[in-house]
Amino acid sequence: MNDTFIPSYNYSKKKWYWVEVDQKSLGRLSTEIASILIGKHKIDYHPSVDMGDYVIVTNAEKIRLTGSKNKSKVYFSHSGRPGGSKRETIESLRERIPERIIEKAVKGMLPKGALGRTMYTRLKVYRGSEHPHKAQNPKLVIL
């Protein structure tokens, strides 16, 4: 009888990847980042095991949106209190916090629940080209 091999959490060492945003489309970039965070690029991927790696994203302000999303896309949040709804266009969010655009897109592509929240903590997004993770020797990924 053949047994299915399910790798344990400590089975593989986590690697660091560095993604440089240079006029790349938001959706295509975030799907690649999400697959690295989930661990789908590894041979021994299993959906219930956290096999993903760390991802550093730099130059978040250079992200490109296709179509008319620059004018029409709106982020909605609610505090739970009466009258606590907030709407923000992607143009104003890009001026305030451009990192949040990539973070929200990738977070929506991760699994829901405790496993997805753990994967999300390994995403590091920065506005400029500098990041504080040089000691980890991240591997540059060309997407």
In this model, does residue 10 exceed pLDDT 70?
A: no
Rg (CA), the chain: 17
What's the CATH fold of domain 15-65+95-141? Answer: Ribosomal Protein L13p; Chain: A; (3.90.1180)
A 10 A CB-CB count for 105 gives 17
Residue 1: pLDDT band (50, 70, 90) is: low
Which of 53, 58, 52 lies closest to 24 in space, CA to CA? Answer: 58
Q: pTM for this one?
A: 0.89
Q: How far is the C-alpha of 90 from the C-alpha of 68, rounded, in Å? A: 11
Domain locations in the chain as residue ranges:
15-65+95-141
